[in-house]
Amino acid sequence: MVVLRYLVILLTYIGLGMGYLPGLRMNRATIALVGAALLMALGLLDLSAAWSAIDYKTLVFLFGMMIISANIAASGFFQLAVDYTIRYIHSPFGLLIGLTFGSGLLSALFLNDTIALILTPLVVGITQLLNLNPIPYLLALAGATNLGSVATLSGNPQNILIGSFSGISYLDFAQALTPLAFISLVIQVGWLWWLYPEVRSLRPYLKVEPPRYRIFKPLLAKSLLITTGLLVAFLLGIPTAETTLIAAGLLLVTRRIKPERTLQKVDWDLLLMFCGLFILTEGVQKLGVLESFTRFVNDPLSILGVTVLLSNLVSNVPAVLLLHHLIPHPNNQTWLLLAAASTLAGNLTLLGSVANLIVAEAVAKKGYRLTFGEHLRFGLPLTVVTLVLTYFWLF
């Protein structure tokens, strides 16, 4: 029985790292749920213990942010941002800078995976319209959504988890890591300028008409007003889960958008994966698997290394769930290190973050190919430099 429990855990984390299990039609959400169910079937956990393991505040925060992002997208806000980009940025290098800092800022405010999903087809459309090589701009988008999301608790799922576990306020988190995110974005621009000579041009490209789009002005005004109020509430230290759910509830009161349209945009797979991971992590803790690894995370440098390794083996959200049990007596600096390292590690390889995969898969549908090697050439040096910067920034 014990051997079977260990085998279930091992296969589940292999599946989470790969994103699938060979020969089976399963994604990360179903892998996590099946792993959790098998641990319950093997008697390691009962339903009560599994239910208690789920951090409902994290799920509420995630769900609320998804509703808010769906409304912002439905209003036409992101197409409007693309329109302004084309109208007021007149060179390939200007486009690179605007895309990097624009997507970085949006990823700090909303979930980075959502920003990658929405902006990828728009970036491809812009580069085709301007007859530019899309690859450096897509790398800029993938990298910036990871780097920008470092700045806030709402930037990505692992930061939301860490906010729930640590109790660090939204403002304290942002004050500590926003400068790091900004410097990292500057480094990314410089690195892409070095790698791709074609993006260095400051010569204006021919003016083109941006693609047509529709703006729903009442929904846009309402979404921006409520989102602004939400950010103010975060800065005032009001509990994030409650305020996010209230903001989402206000946005769902509408005469214009069918509820199905909004709810279809919610990433139910991600929410289900979180439920499975919470239960799975509780099972790992009950088996005592982590106890032998505590000696590897007894100082900031080792925590940094283990976080990067785990984030690329099993993905950053499972890594954070495992490590928050593993790190002995974490303080705020340690939590911030875990948040930054697990996010920045996502730039290391094409498989390192969901945002990278979203960009690669979306661009493949448009007839372009972002290869593992192409991303590694960009991501490996960027990740090493930003992780070194993180260590010295925090310690």
Per-residue pLDDT tens over the stretch 208-259: 566 666 788 888 999 999 999 998 998 888 888 899 999 999 999 988 788 8
CA dihedral 313, 353, 231, 187 (to 10 degrees): 110
Residues listed for the chain:
395
pLDDT at 293: 67
Alpha carbon distances (Å) from 315 to 160, 191, 239, 307: 15, 25, 27, 10
Q: Which long-range contacts (CB under 8 A, 24 or more apart) does 281-285 make?
A: 281/53, 281/318, 281/321, 281/322, 281/325, 282/45, 282/49, 282/50, 282/53, 283/5, 283/9, 283/36, 283/39, 283/44, 283/45, 284/9, 284/322, 284/325, 285/325
The single-letter code of the amino acid at 116 is A
State both tokens at 114: 């959502």
Residues 6 or more apart whose CB falls under 8 angstroms from that of 252 comprise 67, 259, 262
Alpha carbon distances (Å) from 208 to 12, 102, 125: 50, 21, 12
Alpha carbon distances (Å) from 109 to 65, 68, 210, 213: 9, 11, 25, 23
User: Percent of the chain having pLDDT more than 70?
Assistant: 95
d(CA 88, CA 82): 10
* pLDDT tens digits, 258-310: 888 889 988 888 889 889 988 988 888 888 776 666 777 788 898 899 899 88
Alpha carbon distances (Å) from 224 to 30, 33, 47, 392: 35, 36, 41, 36
Alpha carbon distances (Å) from 42 to 109, 146, 237, 280, 321: 42, 38, 42, 13, 22
List the one residue out of 129, 180, 127 whose CA is nearest residue 359: 127
CA–centroid distance for 62 within its chain: 11
Q: Which long-range contacts (CB under 8 A, 24 or more apart) does 291-298 make?
A: 293/326, 294/326, 294/328, 297/323, 297/326, 297/327, 297/328, 298/328
Q: Per the structure, how many domains does the chain have?
A: 1
pLDDT at 171: 92
Q: Which H/E stretch holds residue 125? A: helix 112-129
* pLDDT tens digits, 230-242: 989 988 888 888 9
CA dihedral 327, 110, 279, 53 (to 10 degrees): 80
The position carrying tokens 């490590």 is 323
User: Percent of the chain having pLDDT more than 90?
Assistant: 38
Q: Which long-range contacts (CB under 8 A, 24 or more apart) does 298-307 make?
A: 298/328, 300/333, 300/334, 300/337, 300/391, 300/394, 300/395, 301/391, 303/327, 303/334, 303/337, 303/338, 303/341, 304/337, 304/341, 304/387, 304/390, 304/391, 307/337, 307/338, 307/341, 307/342, 307/345
Q: Note down pLDDT in tens along the chain; length 395 residues.
A: 788 888 998 898 888 777 788 888 888 889 999 999 999 999 988 999 999 989 888 899 889 988 998 898 888 888 787 777 777 777 889 989 999 999 999 999 888 888 887 888 888 888 887 888 889 999 999 999 999 999 999 999 899 999 988 889 999 999 999 999 999 999 999 999 999 999 988 877 656 566 666 788 888 999 999 999 998 998 888 888 899 999 999 999 988 788 888 899 888 888 898 899 889 888 888 887 766 667 777 888 988 998 998 888 777 888 888 888 788 778 899 999 999 999 999 899 877 777 787 787 777 766 777 788 888 999 999 999 999 999 999 98
Q: Which domain holds residue 199?
A: 1-394
